[in-house]
Chain A
């Protein structure tokens, strides 16, 4: 670095100053209206140390130029009732979209040039002749040729890269039509010919760029959404040095560091436990819902959640070396169903491309043989190329998928891949993971079996512990006045004990308190009261399952948990097929087997043990609360608790495919009329312009119907 920039080493402060001011990005999902925008911007501008704040309603984000820490800004927004989450700038990337802006610029150039040329063309079509017509053609050439050469570059580039490796794609006939139309029209204009296709070359470019831009928007919206999910996870850890905890980015940890893992937080690195005991949830790895106890020296993996007291651990593997990362990596490199899938548009192009080249070539040869007029034959071949409506074909799928994906976004689904809709529409089996997908941790017992005093004690004990289960219990008990306790003591990984008016009371693991049952108990004096905690079925699960069955999907449950628990759940939500005690590999094999048998599966899961199955499955959905690895393996991410909306996802996907097919039908119908006219030599530039505009507009209008009903 010193060699590359000697001045930097001499004045490091100057480099810092050259960097832009800190911009903090907050995700504020509740921004909905004009009132929210002004409330948030006014509140933040009032905070000392904030230079500027700007809300982006489309992305539901606020960008704040400030030196303050994100936590202060989150606090400021919480005061006026908005939940905000800081976004990790590194995961978010630049947040800029240069490719999209480039396409828009080309679209603008093509659009304005098209309007100007069309103005001149209308004069020619309505009867301008002789010198006037030639002048108009020449002016059109002056506008159209540079505009086309600039605006159509994305097509030329794609066509060239396909041709170089000896293949053809949709962009080959498009580029050919644009170039031939421009070149031939220039020749006609210079030689005083009657027909020039400048407007056709431009409108072809214009309409196809619309399709290209829509496609790009859909893809980048999905990418941004995925990036935002990753950015929501703050990638920092608490490093202990000299007895003091210091917050550092995970990437800066080194093996041998001592790391403090607070309650309720994911373990940031692989390593072993230094504290005496720890209690973690490793359901993401095994699918088992029961928490696991560890003793000093036990191996901990990145991604486990600390359910007990804060503990210290020694880091051994960080970032890319963690087991979590290795498994996620394996998933990414595996050959997946989506790599093998050929999209609807590609299948259409495979039929269309050879057909249109043959047709144009045959018309050229036919007319050349019949009349011997090279110029006329070439004109007809170009008319065939232009009039075969590649616009409608180019728009057929992107217009529908853009409309469908933005509708799904409003329903709370982020669709990450373009072909996901087509695959979701084909799905016949719905494979559900149990823990975390269909169930939530919770309590399920009759509180009337406890006396008022016992309830008060339980509430007070539960409130005094930071254990997630205690928090759940406190919430489950509801509005009860806590009893006054003394000498409250929390025992790591065991429970809480205290005295209540002279009587010793405790809340904790049954084994610790000398009870015979499993799970959590309350001990008052010598009396023991079991407080059974079990997973609660997600409230919408049953309705979701029956709606999916109505839609013709066969649901089944795959779980890493015990047979008893899985059977109970399957029975509760009305699923007849289930398999329990599966390892991640078995889940993966089961899903692959379903595909071989033609029962195309959509996997819904959230854990690392589902990640393999998520990427093997024909289509996959992960909840927004899932692990990063599971989310990146899935096609669709559900934001919030949207289990009940899952059937709508399939309905919209099926409708999108139906409308895409219909769009191909419309394009084919236009071709059935236009091709004979062009081949027989009756096509005029006016006809080409009309066919192109009408087919493109019908296709776009048809795509918009996805929002009407589903």
Chain B
């Protein structure tokens, strides 16, 4: 059961990191143009 001491913080940190990444993507307006973003991967630079 000692493994829980590591695993629980790890799961909490990963979940928190996911939430932080989501909030960041929301703040930088990455959901404003879903169709456009899907198309932009096809543009060669």
Contact = CB atoms under 8 A, between A and B. Distances in A.
A112 B18 contact: yes
Contact of A104 (B15, B31, B42): B31
Given A38-B43, A116-B15, A132-B1, A58 B23 contact: no
Contact of A56 (B8, B15, B36): B36
A59 to B, nearest CB: 7
A39 to B, nearest CB: 10
B43 A34 contact: yes
A55 interface: yes
B40 A58 contact: no
Contacts of A113: 15, 19
B8 to A, nearest CB: 7
Nearest to A114: B15
B6 interface: no
Given A105-B26, A116-B11, A56 B32 contact: yes
Contacts, number: 55
B8 A139 contact: yes
A143 B16 CA distance: 10
Interface in A460-500: none
A37 B32 contact: no
A679 to B, nearest CB: 35
A140 B36 CA distance: 39
A285 interface: no
B33 A57 contact: yes
Contacts of A366: none
Interface in B16-34: 16, 18-19, 22-23, 26, 31-34
In this complex, the interface size class of chain B, counting residues with CB under 8 Å from chain A, is 20 to 34
Contact of A112 (B19, B35, B42, B43): B19
Interface in A69-128: 101, 104-105, 108-109, 112-113, 115-116, 119-120
Interface string A52-71: 00011111000000000000
Residue of A34, A59, A104 with most chain B CB atoms under a 10 A cut-off? A34
A33 interface: yes
B40 to A, nearest CB: 7
Interface in A11-62: 33-34, 37-38, 55-59
A105 B4 CA distance: 30
Nearest to B42: A34
A463 B40 CA distance: 45
Nearest to B20: A112
A58 to B, nearest CB: 5
Contact of A58 (B16, B36, B42, B43): B36
B35 to A, nearest CB: 4
Contacts of B23: 105, 108
Contacts of A143: 12
Contact of A33 (B11, B15, B39): B39
A57 B35 contact: yes
Contacts of A104: 26, 31
Contact of A108 (B8, B19, B32, B42): B19
Nearest to A132: B1
B6 to A, nearest CB: 14
B40 A37 contact: yes
A672 B8 CA distance: 38
Contacts of A37: 36, 39-40, 43
B43 A101 contact: no
B11 A55 contact: no
Residue of A112, A113, A119 with most chain B CB atoms under a 10 A cut-off? A112
Nearest to A119: B11
A481 B21 CA distance: 66
A37 B22 CA distance: 26
Contact of B39 (A57, A105, A116, A139): A57
A336 to B, nearest CB: 33
Contact of B26 (A58, A108, A112, A132): A108
Nearest to A142: B12
A27 to B, nearest CB: 14
Contacts of A108: 19, 22-23, 26
22 contacts: A33-B39, A34-B41, A37-B36, A37-B39, A57-B33, A57-B36, A58-B32, A58-B34, A58-B35, A58-B36, A101-B26, A104-B31, A108-B19, A108-B22, A108-B26, A112-B19, A116-B11, A116-B12, A119-B11, A132-B4, A139-B12, A143-B12
Given A37-B39, A57-B33, 18 more contacts: A34-B39, A34-B40, A34-B41, A34-B42, A58-B33, A58-B36, A101-B26, A104-B26, A105-B23, A108-B22, A108-B23, A112-B15, A112-B22, A115-B15, A116-B12, A116-B15, A132-B1, A139-B8
Which A-B residue pairs are the 4 nearest by beta carbons? A57-B36, A34-B42, A112-B19, A116-B15
Interface of A: 33-34, 37-38, 55-59, 101, 104-105, 108-109, 112-113, 115-116, 119-120, 132, 139, 143
